[in-house]
Structure 1
Amino acid sequence: MKALVLSGGAGTRLRPITHSYAKQLVPVANKPVLFYGLEAIAEAGITEVGIVVGDTALEIQQAVGDGSAFGLDITYIRQSAPLGLAHAVLIAKEFLADEDFVMYLGDNFIVGGIAELVAGFKKSRPDAHILLTQVADPSAFGVVELDDTGKAVALEEKPAVPRSDLALVGVFLFTSAVHEAVLGIEPSARGELEITDALQWLIDHGCDVHSTTISGYWKDTGNVIDMLEVNRAVLEGVKGRVDGFVDTDSEVIGQVTIEAGAEIRGSRIVGPVVIGANTKITASYIGPFTSVAADCRIESSEIEFSIVLAGARVQGVRRIESSLIGRDVEVTPADGVPAAHRLILGDHSQVRIAS
């Protein structure tokens, strides 16, 4: 069995971070989201993995390499444009050949992995197996309608009027039957080959499509709110350790990981928190559910429930929360301008200011 990992999306909902950064590499607890998926695939006993890449191909390849760090053999498959999940299957046909495969969206996060799911698929071998979960806003997802027996009968991508509240989770298992399906469908109104249409084709042609509704933790990390929520969930399970330096004027409470080379001076750290290598924190407060990446500088500031990416500098800021701070960002007070905010923001930025 092989795996097909989709990492070619533009990440428009995470702009401006993703103007210069692959969305699959945005870190959760200081580890790229994509890495959690690759680890789950390896844990399921799959070693041959194709990664579909787009404009951020170089970044993905530099981060993942040949896959040996994960115990995987990686093949990169270039997608000229984000033309749909079914299009990714179409262009991966040579890699997949006629083998069964799991398709995993590289920006999705599932607690507990997929080993049990893969084992069940190998045993029963339906033509396709899909995962579903109840969501509050199904119009933002691929939606599945089940009949009274729990069998999938209709699927639709991002419908204006959803037929149910059951959304497709970003993990799919297929036999080679799906290759005929992706050849048998036409691009949607969005100009994409939709995986929902391919699954509907399988159903309409009498193929066996199984579904499982999960109640466990799943997130599509396509926006900041979900990124922060996944970061929180992962940090809850991280055991603390201190490999860096903490001076006697500092207080470390709860599950806190401080990587080698990091320095904490005159500060209060309340876990769960992860502090990256060579980061310096001085006279500051870092509150629960915060990840600070490597090579950051935080001075005389307060941060809570946030993700801070590598090389960022935060100085003299009284309180930051529920925030995603990008690489090499600088956050400082506005000098000499009473009761005023001075901002330099990229396209599609979102700022919430207490006025």
Structure 2
Amino acid sequence: MKALVLAGGKGTRLRPLTHTSAKQLVPVANKPVLYYGLEAIRNAGITRVGVIIGDTGHEVRDAVGDGSMFGLDVTYIPQEAPLGLAHCVLIARDFLEDDPFVMYLGDNFLIDGITDLVDAFDAADHDAQILLTKVAEPQFYGVAELGPDGQIVRLEEKPEHPRSDLAIVGVYTFSPAIHEAVQAIKPSARGELEITDAIKWLIDTGHRVHSHFVNGYWRDTGRLQDLLECNRIVLERIEPGVMGTVDRLSQTTGRVVIEQGAVVENSIVHGPVVIGPDTKIISSYVGPFTSIGPNCMLQDSEIENSIILDGSSIHGVSRIARSLIGRNVEVNRTSRLPNTHQLMVGDHSKIQVSS
């Protein structure tokens, strides 16, 4: 079995961060979301992986390399424009050949991996197997309706009146029959080849399309609140360890990881927290569910339930919570009068300030 990982797309819900960075490389607990997916594929016994890349392909290539760091053999497949998930299967035909494969959307987060999904597909005789989970608001997802034996009888994309609460998760397993399906369908109203239309074609032509339910925790990390929730889940499982330096005036409690070269001075760190290498925490408070990347500076500030990316600095700011701060960002307090907020903010940003 092979794997096809989708690492293109625009990441519009995480702008402005994704104007300059691949959405699949936004970190959870200081590790890119894409890495969790590649590790899950490896742990399922798959080693040959095709990665679909788009405008941010150079960044994905730099982060993943040839795949050897994960024990994988990675082949990159450029997609000139985001023309749909089924289009990804179409352009990956030479790589996939006639082998069964897993298709994994690179911004999905499955904390317990996909081994059970792959094992179930290997043991069965299905042409497609779709991963599902129950959700509270199915109208915002692709929705599946099941028959009595777990076979999928109907799919709807973001229906106004959902017929079930079973959302389609961004991980699928396919037999070579999917290649005929993606060639048979036409672009949707939004100009894309939809994988749901290809799966509907399989159902309508009598192919075996079955369901499989998520084992454990799943999130699509396309929104800030979902990233923060994934960060919380992972941090709750980390093994604490201090490889950096913590002075006598500082206190650390709970699950705290302080990477090599990091320095904590006169500060309180209340876990679960990860502090990246060569980061400095000075006279500050770092509260639960916070990940701070490498080469950052936090001084005379307070932060919790947030993600800070590489090279950013925060000085004299109290209090930051439920936030995502990008790379090489500077957040400072000014004591000059008048007491005003001075902002330089990119497109599609969201800022909340206390009055």
TM-score (norm: length of structure 2): 0.98
Find out whether 1:35 has 2:23 as its counterpart: no
Where does residue 18 of structure 1 map in the other structure?
18
Do 2:150 and 2:210's aligned partners in 1 also have CA atoms closer than 8 Å? Answer: no
Give the aligned residue type for 1:247: D
Give the aligned residue type for 2:60: I
Give the aligned residue type for 1:278: D
Taking the TM superposition and a 5 Å limit, the aligned residue runs for 1:198-217 are 198-214=198-214, 216-217=216-217
Give the aligned residue type for 1:254: G
Taking the TM superposition and a 5 Å limit, the aligned residue runs for 1:297-308 are 297-308=297-308
Taking the TM superposition and a 5 Å limit, the aligned residue runs for 1:137-286 are 137-214=137-214, 216-286=216-286
TM-superposition CA deviations, 1:271-298 (whole Å, max 9, x none): 0000000001100000000000000000
| Residue 145 of structure 1: how far off its partner (Å) | 1.7
Find out whether 1:132 has 2:137 as its counterpart: no
State the SS of the aligned residue for 1:9.
coil
State the SS of the aligned residue for 1:310.
coil
Separation of aligned partners in 2, 1:6 and 1:141: 18
Do 1:125 and 1:175's aligned partners in 2 also have CA atoms closer than 8 Å? Answer: no
Do 1:104 and 1:171's aligned partners in 2 also have CA atoms closer than 8 Å? Answer: yes
Find runs of 4+ consecutive structure 1 residues off by over 3 angstroms: 147-150
Separation of aligned partners in 2, 1:25 and 1:346: 19
Taking the TM superposition and a 5 Å limit, the aligned residue runs for 1:99-110 are 99-110=99-110
Distance 1:44-1:149 versus aligned 2 partners, 3 A rule: closer
Residue range with higher mean Cα deviation, 296-305 or 186-195: 186-195
Separation of aligned partners in 1, 2:140 and 2:278: 40
Taking the TM superposition and a 5 Å limit, the aligned residue runs for 1:327-338 are 327-338=327-338
Do 1:244 and 1:263's aligned partners in 2 also have CA atoms closer than 8 Å? Answer: yes
Find out whether 1:79 has 2:69 as its counterpart: no
Give the aligned residue type for 1:207: H
TM-superposition CA deviations, 1:38-69 (whole Å, max 9, x none): 00101111000000000000000000000000
| Residue 215 of structure 1: how far off its partner (Å) | 5.9
Residue range with higher mean Cα deviation, 209-218 or 312-321: 209-218
Taking the TM superposition and a 5 Å limit, the aligned residue runs for 1:86-125 are 86-125=86-125
| Residue 111 of structure 1: how far off its partner (Å) | 1.6
Give the aligned residue type for 1:84: G
Do 2:4 and 2:52's aligned partners in 1 also have CA atoms closer than 8 Å? Answer: yes
Give the aligned residue type for 1:348: H
Give the aligned residue type for 1:311: G
| Residue 149 of structure 1: how far off its partner (Å) | 4.6
TM-superposition CA deviations, 1:312-338 (whole Å, max 9, x none): 000000100000000000111133134
Count of aligned pairs? 355
State the SS of the aligned residue for 1:129.
strand
| Residue 237 of structure 1: how far off its partner (Å) | 0.4
TM-superposition CA deviations, 1:77-114 (whole Å, max 9, x none): 00011111111001000000000000011000002111
Do 1:101 and 1:174's aligned partners in 2 also have CA atoms closer than 8 Å? Answer: yes
Separation of aligned partners in 1, 2:152 and 2:120: 18
TM-superposition CA deviations, 1:95-148 (whole Å, max 9, x none): 000000000110000021111221121111310101111122223221112235
Find out whether 1:44 has 2:79 as its counterpart: no
Where does residue 310 of structure 2 map in the other structure?
310
Do 1:145 and 1:154's aligned partners in 2 also have CA atoms closer than 8 Å? Answer: yes
| Residue 339 of structure 1: how far off its partner (Å) | 4.2
Separation of aligned partners in 2, 1:341 and 1:148: 59
Where does residue 61 of structure 2 map in the other structure?
61
State the SS of the aligned residue for 1:63.
helix
Do 2:112 and 2:215's aligned partners in 1 also have CA atoms closer than 8 Å? Answer: no
Give the aligned residue type for 2:230: V
State the SS of the aligned residue for 1:190.
coil
Separation of aligned partners in 2, 1:215 and 1:44: 14
State the SS of the aligned residue for 1:153.
strand
Residue range with higher mean Cα deviation, 131-140 or 146-155: 146-155
Separation of aligned partners in 2, 1:110 and 1:15: 23
Separation of aligned partners in 1, 2:64 and 2:350: 30
State the SS of the aligned residue for 1:83.
coil
Separation of aligned partners in 2, 1:210 and 1:283: 56
State the SS of the aligned residue for 1:179.
helix
